[in-house]
Structure 1
């Protein structure tokens, strides 16, 4: 395969496409992975009480499930994001989003067969690794295939579907906890995740490789053929005629088969230090708030409000709906009002509302129902903000670093908030003292507010701009004789 310097209009042609059935195939094939993550986390959280009961088949405590078990899942996600993120930039989006889904399916199936705590924790780690790899492969592919004018709302809406999975998981646990024997009901719950993953795998087979990745890695002819086929499909199905893009929209790229990790790391640290700081702040803020709180929500209901373990799923389903509505209803504003003001607003507002919830909880003014209402309001805004963190790091760095950048910020931010958070939160809630749980709420709220203020200072106005305009590809700067495509 000969490499050279090419001029290509592939990015401009992808951005000028009208919304079509082809884009829906991308959304369904790739976006549904967040449903799996939401399903996983919610099932474990709501089943924590049942797993610790005598006769479950596991000699494990509830705090171990929501504390160490949650932390090991997040640790796996961090490791998987870094490892598979690096492979995604090196070998392509399509190969990796198939491999990472297979890893998830294997880990979940083995979790359902757990017979000892060590086995349960091991395969929670592997399941997390698959999900972490999915975040890197999927976010990079989605942003490179969706037109610029729709990118913000689609990315947020897709990331928000995590909560559709959470709602399904919460409702699934109700009959499992109330109708099925303790020894195998939780195994059925994990088996549901495997079934859903297999369905997604069937749809995902039809999702193409990113044309942007193809032309940078010396496969310009494939990229051209793929985009031309999409254009012909859109023109035929939507009865439109696509105008040629202007010559000045072409970009010049020096093709490479691989790009070294050192080059990528240097780019993030030295070329975009402010953007790197921004990405870390957004991920730490949302990861701490979500992972420190939602992993242990069932334990809060049972410890402080005496809600039976079989009924916690109802409450969490309501919270999940509030989380889902946030990104769906607020997403269009991220493309119209703008990234900077919306990200700042959602982070700060959710943090302030969480402080208010902590105050009411400390005063003893809440019951299980009003606590759930408070969380719905807080997470309506927080979920849109959290989704925007993934959007931000997937569009403000050069294409060659995109998957690894997503992986890096996800891993570091989630390690800070998602490993420390569940361990700390499980300990604080486990004391049974209201004041200790209030401390966890306050910490999560403050970190979230600080992240919003960082966005206000360092945020990038990326709405409706092409990815190449937001961050020039690394290979575009290299000078060689031009070869037209």
Structure 2
């Protein structure tokens, strides 16, 4: 790909951001949610399936000579490493070439890699395509989150972003229940059932691809990159469609913004923006991602093994327990998401992180003391992750809205990659070793590490979180291309630098 040489750049004044933010909720917004948000269901399906089939894959008749630790440790770490690499690679392309091109390409990468995982015949093949599956999913995080936040009105941005990111757990529910069926050797042979679980991911991905073709490019990206006429036409068409649906005339947008258009932004300017212009926000992003990444990538990858090793749950039944936990995870963003737009970002982000961390400490103590069984352990995890899932989803919301438009996808990719690499690669490797030992105290130690990181991230949010609720993206962080005046002129923790 190369930048469009036919695009002419100049200085334009536009009301596109204000026009998008004052739109009422409509069928058009539902199309955005379904077309872009459903990929998180695929991610949840992927991670959960691997966690729940780990014990079956390690059995001699699985058709794949791989150990339990290799599935929950090495393969899990490679999946996360692929996601980090994909986020950085596709994040840069997303800011440079647009959201739409990349969220179609990244989904295609995911589909191809997942299909090839299903036909794994050796350990190295399985490892390779777990990495490439993560590569596609990582690119999705950058392209999708940036597009969602730029298309959803500011009044609804927080709850919609949280629920979409939380829909990961709907996929987890499906993956858990699917694994129960797939691992039932009365239905499928031991070397076939686990392959069918990956094949289903391909089928769901193809359906999503059909819907996603109708999702438009972000008008905010368009007017900055020399396509202002296309942005105006797109928004005008959406306004006409919504006025017809609602039977009312939309109010006139209040403010305009003046932009000096550009084709791309270099890595040096991105780094300067993130770390020199907004250092407190950079610390916040790192903290939130490291906390949630260690908790989720370390714990959920090995949950099936915990049930089998410490509670003697048959490997074919772990999916039932995880389905309950996953549903509790989805309820967190669903029920708490609205409060991020009403009570505000700072109290909700800090509160969900700190509370989930404290509850995880309690769970670790109960587990270490031998006071839990498979059922009560599941109940404890439901309570912990009800709050943790809302907090984890808010990490993606935070880094996608607190940095300038031109760096949005790359900012998401950068914080996701660094935070997830710290917690998501080291976490599964460490946790696989701890659970493999079969010693309760070792597994409880991993829980305590995750709890401590969540609490620390919550404390950082108390001081550094940005009050972004119900504000235009341009007010939260002034675009680098803005020439002054208009939107994005607030001070302090709003649009101005926090250095």
Query: Which residue does the alignment assign to 2:419?
Result: 413
Cα distance, 1:264 vs structure 2:
1.1
Please list, as runs of the form range in 1=range in 2, the aligned pairs for 1:15-414 lying within 5 A after superposition: 15-178=21-184, 179-246=187-254, 249-414=255-420
CA distance in 2, matches of 1:412, 1:399: 20
Asked if residue 458 in structure 1 is aligned to residue 468 in structure 2, the reply is no
Query: Which residue does the alignment assign to 1:431?
Result: 437
Maintained 8 Å contact 1:6/1:252: yes
Query: Which residue does the alignment assign to 2:490?
Result: none
Partner SS state of residue 149, structure 1: coil
CA distance in 1, matches of 2:484, 2:409: 21
Runs (4+) of structure 1 exceeding 3 A deviation are: none
Task: Mark the runs of 5 or more structure 1 residues left unpaired by the alignment.
Answer: 480-485
Partner SS state of residue 64, structure 2: coil
CA distance in 2, matches of 1:419, 1:474: 33
Partner SS state of residue 7, structure 1: strand
Give the helix-richer structure, 1 or 2: 1
CA distance in 1, matches of 2:76, 2:282: 27
Cα distance, 1:413 vs structure 2:
0.2
- Per-residue displacement from partner, 1:78-108 (whole Å, max 9, x unpaired)? 0000000000000000000000000000110
Cα distance, 1:477 vs structure 2:
3.7
- Per-residue displacement from partner, 1:81-137 (whole Å, max 9, x unpaired)? 000000000000000000000000011000001000000000000000000000000
CA distance in 1, matches of 2:371, 2:416: 36
Cα distance, 1:269 vs structure 2:
1.1
Maintained 8 Å contact 1:58/1:115: yes
Maintained 8 Å contact 1:148/1:466: yes
Cα distance, 1:478 vs structure 2:
7.5
CA distance in 1, matches of 2:468, 2:245: 30
Cα distance, 1:46 vs structure 2:
0.3
Maintained 8 Å contact 1:254/1:478: no
CA distance in 2, matches of 1:209, 1:191: 30
CA distance in 2, matches of 1:305, 1:57: 27
CA distance in 2, matches of 1:175, 1:458: 46
CA distance in 1, matches of 2:79, 2:484: 41
In the superposition, the TM-score normalised over structure 1's length comes to: 0.98
CA distance in 2, matches of 1:478, 1:186: 57
Cα distance, 1:261 vs structure 2:
1.7
- Per-residue displacement from partner, 1:34-80 (whole Å, max 9, x unpaired)? 00000000000000011111121111001100000100000000000
CA distance in 1, matches of 2:346, 2:197: 40
In the superposition, the TM-score normalised over structure 2's length comes to: 0.95
CA distance in 2, matches of 1:183, 1:441: 33
Task: Mark the runs of 5 or more structure 2 residues left unpaired by the alignment.
Answer: 1-6, 486-499
CA distance in 1, matches of 2:42, 2:271: 30
Query: Which residue does the alignment assign to 1:482?
Result: none
Maintained 8 Å contact 1:59/1:117: yes
In structure 2, do the counterparts of structure 1 residues 359 and 119 end up closer, same or farther at CA, with 3 Å as the change threshold?
same
CA distance in 2, matches of 1:154, 1:478: 30
Partner SS state of residue 61, structure 2: coil
Query: Which residue does the alignment assign to 1:483?
Result: none
Query: Which residue does the alignment assign to 1:440?
Result: 446
